[in-house]
Structure 1
Amino acid sequence: MDLDSIQLHAEETMVKSLEYVRSELKGVRTGRATTGLVEFVKVEVYGSETDLRSVALISAPEPTQILVKPYDGSTVQEIAKGITAAGLGLNPMVDGKQIRINIPPLSGDRRKELAASVKQMGEAAKVAMRNARRDANKHIDQLAKDKSQHISEDEIEGAKEEIQDLLKKHEKIVEDEVAAKAKEIQEV
């Protein structure tokens, strides 16, 4: 491995952590209805578990309601059962060949719990990014010890600084997105 590939691998790992925390944040409930709440709910249709978004059109026509329209009308009951079983605290109501999910307002305590959980998600992502930095620095140190590589101390230090800069950049993005989500949760 050379310095460029070590840096590239570290950056890829940080980007994956960022993408993961973004997808997790989408699923966190706020005061208003979002399709991200139920997109990844597993439903048992046609004999296998599938994400809800694969078997139905999901929309949020009102700030307090999610509308689920199955592509196949015969799967309405299975989808309703899957949403109930997901443990999101949502009560799906079958309305003909579609499902309406009313989003109840969050209590003050629940808002605080969700904000704390969002912050924990952000911390977990930052820990994963720091681990990527640690691993990259280990690889760089191994390259420095390998005399056949002919890498100068300046190049080694420069590579470590670049990885540190990558970490700072990605941590800042996570902090900003977590703060925005926490603010959204606190809005009544």
Structure 2
Amino acid sequence: MATANYDINDIKRRMQGASASLKTELSGLRTGRASSHLLDPVMVDAYGSQMPLVQCASVTVPEPRLIAVSVWDKSLVKAVEKAIVDSNLGLSPATEGQTIRLRIPELNEERRKELVKIAHKYAETARVAVRHVRRDAMDLIKKLEKDHAISKDDHERYSGEIQKATDAGIVEIDQLLAAKEKEILTV
């Protein structure tokens, strides 16, 4: 009964949410190779509202340095093209009918270092999110102990569980960052 408010699995799930968010952000970083996920954040002004590019076109990678966007509705080709240009991804679209081709240029050394810095910012944001979950969980067990819902021994045990989950979350974030950093710096 005393542990009804404390759920380590919920805490771990919330911490893994930070890792999942980081994976999404890192997938959008361009590494010099074409990836369909590169266009995930692009929003198109279609039918009077903003909608994700993937909801109005199919994105394929026919070659390592080429992304092909096949727009389903002919009337949206210009809007998709404009959205890609406005997204600041550094891509210049070449339109052929309802297909937009995006050549991925080689990354120079300076741009690679810039992308690594951005990846580090994303990772730090994820680490902060994990620490916020830890702080909330620690506050909860302090409150439960103060309200005499759990014993001092339970408080210590739960604190250890929370810290282990936090450490595991930070390690996972660091591994994701290291993999992405290696991918970016590989020529």
| Identity across the alignment (%) | 38
Letter in 2 for 1:119: H
SS at match of 1:172: helix
SS at match of 1:154: helix
In the TM superposition, what is the alpha-carbon distance from 1:119 to its structure 2 partner?
1.2
Structure 2 Cα separation of the partners of residues 42 and 5 of structure 1: 40
Give the match for residue 176 of structure 2.
177
Structure 2 unaligned runs (5+)? none
Give the match for residue 153 of structure 1.
152
Cα deviation digits, residues 132-158 of structure 1 (max 9, x gap): 1011111101111112x2x22221111
**Is 1:165 paired with 2:164?**
yes
Q: Would the alpha carbon gap of residues 2 and 36 (structure 1) be closer, same or farther in structure 2, given more than 3 Å must change?
A: farther
Tell me the TM-score normalized by structure 2.
0.94
* Root-mean-square deviation over aligned CA pairs: 1.5
Structure 1 Cα separation of the partners of residues 101 and 2 of structure 2: 55
**Is 1:119 paired with 2:120?**
yes
Structure 1 Cα separation of the partners of residues 177 and 4 of structure 2: 30
In the TM superposition, what is the alpha-carbon distance from 1:4 to its structure 2 partner?
5.7
Give the match for residue 58 of structure 1.
59
Tell me the TM-score normalized by structure 1.
0.94
Q: Is the 8 A contact 2:59 2:69 kept in 1?
A: yes
Q: Is the 8 A contact 2:45 2:83 kept in 1?
A: yes
Q: Is the 8 A contact 1:3 1:159 kept in 2?
A: no
Structure 1 unaligned runs (5+)? none
Q: Is the 8 A contact 1:21 1:125 kept in 2?
A: yes
Cα deviation digits, residues 98-126 of structure 1 (max 9, x gap): 00000111110110010111011111101
**Is 1:24 paired with 2:19?**
no
Cα deviation digits, residues 22-48 of structure 1 (max 9, x gap): 110110110101111112201111111
In the TM superposition, what is the alpha-carbon distance from 1:93 to its structure 2 partner?
0.8
Give the match for residue 91 of structure 2.
90
Structure 2 Cα separation of the partners of residues 91 and 4 of structure 1: 55
Letter in 2 for 1:141: K
Q: Would the alpha carbon gap of residues 26 and 4 (structure 1) be closer, same or farther in structure 2, given more than 3 Å must change?
A: farther
Alignment of 1:62-81 (within 5 A): 62-81=63-82
In the TM superposition, what is the alpha-carbon distance from 1:5 to its structure 2 partner?
4.1
SS at match of 2:100: strand
Cα deviation digits, residues 74-99 of structure 1 (max 9, x gap): 21111001100111111011011100
Alignment of 1:103-142 (within 5 A): 103-142=104-143
